[in-house]
Structure 1
Amino acid sequence: MAAVTRNAVRAGTRAAGQALKPSIDKAKPPPSDGDWIAGVAMGAAGMRRFRLYRPPDVRFSERLPLMVMLHGCGQDARSFAASTRMNRIAARERFMVLYPEQDRLANAQGCWNWFDTTSGRAYGEAALIMKAIDQVCLLYPVDRARIAVAGLSAGASMAALLVTRHPERFRAVVMHSGIPPGTAHSPLSALGAMHGRRSTKPLMATPVSMAASWPPLMVIHGGIDPVVSAHNGQAAVQVWADAAGAQPGPGRSVQRGERYAMTVTDFKRRGSTMATLVEVGRLGHAWSGGAEKHPFSDRHGPDASRMVWAFAARQFRATSASGKALC
């Protein structure tokens, strides 16, 4: 009887350990130096957890840029950080990374409800993300004049929605495999938009307002994306360029080593790049150049994380040169 009891206890302990493993793994910081800080943002739409990566050895007088990273469906803050490896770049280039996290009670698949504008849920979630940004800016040494936002899939669409509502708060926005704002307004219309069957409404902006306060856009999209049609990447850049009065230049083919080739097209107005389209022909629905053996990550693609930071850093330098005030 004693042996049976011991075996039952061991089996129960193993079962409990297996049940707790996802929670334990989720709490572990992704591989990198620096701090992995937990936080919660609260507002009228509820609450959302977030994680903040802070590089090591931040000096007292130092003010660092902030990159906001919005995960896609089926991901959370940790898995997105691990697959993109953005924290490694942040440690080297010295910036902070904020990872807001969607609540599974708000969306069972962990998707941001970027499309649900009719009910107002999309705007409520956008407001919570802004609360997280404000909280991080208040508690940590963030340079408010150097904030950028990037996202994958549903996170890309939410990133664009954030910028349409608060363009003056961001210096760059990057959409990776997402759908442009003004393309869907409900869950049903979002399905049509994912397959490239819906048109995109023009942005509520003019060339003058775009030049004054809207950040440039970079779009990265795979040519064989089976989830979000590549048409959406082209539509996102076009609607941004149309609002800015920008025209496309010639596409240039780029390939680094054995990674997938990409075609890069800049849309410019009076010499300034307002939007950039990066088309990766052999990429599916995955973070380009992401870590191996992670869902929604393709290590063979060009390194999207490096492209995201390089694009944002150019806008930060331009902001410093123009002497724009903190917002």
Structure 2
Amino acid sequence: MRATLSRLAPWRRLHAPLPAGWLAGRFPHALRARTFRQQRDYFLYVPTTVTRRDRVPLLVMLHGCSQDARTFAEGTRMNEVADQHHFIVLYPQQSLQANPLRCWNWFEPRTREGAGEAAAIVTLVRDIARRYPVDRSRVYLAGISAGGAMTAVLAFCYGAIFAACAMVAGVMYRGADSALAAAQTMRAGARLSPETTAHEAARRVSRKLRFVPALVMHGSRDTVVHPRNAEQIVSQFRKFAELVSTPPEPLAGPVERCINGEGRKYWQRDYVRSDQVLLRSISVDGLGHAWSGGDERHRFNDAAHPDASRLIWDFVSKFRRPAPPRWPLIRFWFRYLRRYLRS
């Protein structure tokens, strides 16, 4: 009887109801005990249509300063997009102990190198992908302001994990190395050259890392994070895309369009390789430091279109991360078999 029940256990797990809706959790305990000592929460939105037998995309959303996961979710209305397009949304939340304004510390030296908060977020993403029916080839990343700056860090340091990303009112990778420098960068742009930092990143990255297609969105009247930062992000990502391609090949463009739809007009610039848009810049006329098309009941949201959430999903959802080579798995089973035969 016990043997029968044990054989049925995997079947029961597969068909057990999947928790759905707005779910709360905490970062993995082992992580909190080591490099990420402050206790941090996360929130997860799982549409009711998702089952354990599915393999659905995961979108990681990083809030900005003076925001938390709930207000970010309600302001961006990203959960409504998730319901419509059948994907899971993860909202990591910064703690007040780590930063009194809940800003992600994207400028800290360890985080810029892929450790610290960057490593903690990636560990959480991997944990969620293990426990929920996530298609690991379709893990995406988006953020605003400090969350946008952290998105750039994660895209450069963990390109093997994320299929595409989006930055709203963000700052380029390695744009600052202290809180004071971060404030100066936000006001006037980074002092370092985007091309120089792209070269430095290309020299450091391993063969496992790759260019992450990106959408860069900014308001023309942003007085908190100067629009020059968006130009620097585009220049940096464009140069990095060239440097890590084999052989080095620049992105063509930009192909520019002025779009006059519902709400504000915006300029869209596309950078292309092999007929595929790998980098897109959107400048929204008259938009301040806000999520375009958001719920104005929450700070840093502007109700006027374009709808940033839908623009972001329309862009990132076109990409899949390349499947990993099969050789590591073959080597694993070869070593396992060799140990078994020796025992």
Q: Aligned to 2:149, what secondary structure does the other structure show?
A: helix
Structure 2 residue 33 is matched with structure 1 residue 41: no
Partner of 2:9: none
Give the SS at the match of 2:305.
coil
Partner of 2:73: 81
2:106–2:112 CA contact under 8 A, matched in 1? no
Residues 174 and 210 (structure 1 numbering): CA distance in 2 closer, same or farther, change over 3 Å?
A: farther
Partner of residue 302, structure 1: 306
Contact 1:150 1:173 in 2 (8 A): yes
The Cα shift of 1:102 comes to: 0.2
Q: Distance between the aligned counterparts of 1:189 and 1:300, measured in 2?
A: 32
Change (3 A) 1:210 1:120: closer
Cα 1:196–1:269 change in 2 (3 A) is farther
Task: Name the CA distance, whole Å, in 2 between partners of 1:309 and 1:164.
Answer: 20
1:202 is aligned to 2:203: no
Deviations 1:275-304 (CA, angstroms, capped at 9, x unpaired): 110000210000011013210000113100
**2:174 counterpart residue number:** 182
**4+ residue stretches of structure 1 with deviation over 3 A?**
118-123, 209-212, 322-327
CA offset at residue 272 of structure 1?
Answer: 3.0
Q: Distance in 2 between matches of 1:65 and 1:291?
A: 24
User: Mapping of 1:1-327 within 5 angstroms?
Assistant: 34-42=20-28, 43=31, 44-46=35-37, 47-117=39-109, 123-197=115-189, 198-199=191-192, 200=194, 201-203=196-198, 204-205=201-202, 213-244=210-241, 245-257=250-262, 259-316=263-320, 319=321
Q: Distance in 1 between matches of 2:207 and 2:220?
A: 28
The one-letter amino acid of 1:135's match is D
Where does residue 9 of structure 1 map in the other structure? none
SS of alignment partner, residue 170 of structure 2:
coil
SS in structure 2 at match of 1:250: strand
Q: CA deviation at 1:210?
A: 10
Which is worse superposed, 114-123 or 97-106? 114-123
Summarize deviations over 1:15-71 as a string: whole Å, max 9, x none.
xxxxxxxxxxxxxxxxxxx51111111312224210010000322311110000000
Structure 1 residues 112-163: Cα deviation after superposition (integer angstroms, max 9, x where no partner): 0001226879831111111211111111111111000000000000011011
Percentage of pairs with the same residue: 37
Is the Cα–Cα contact under 8 Å of residues 256 and 269 in structure 2 kept in the other structure? yes
How far residue 270 of structure 1 moved from its aligned partner, in angstroms, is 3.6
Q: Secondary structure at the match of 1:168?
A: coil
Q: Which runs of 5+ in 1 are unaligned?
A: 1-33
RMSD between aligned alpha carbons? 2.5
TM-aligned CA deviation for residue 323 of structure 1? 5.7
Deviations 1:84-137 (A, max 9, x none): 000011011100000000000100001000012268798311111112111111
| Aligned 8 A contact 2:61 2:89 in 1 | yes
For the residues of structure 2 that align with 1:99 and 1:235, how far apart are their CA atoms?
A: 26
Q: Secondary structure at the match of 1:213?
A: coil
Q: 1:123 to 1:145 in 2, by over 3 A?
A: same
Q: Name the TM-score, length of structure 1 as normaliser.
A: 0.82
TM-score by length of 2: 0.79
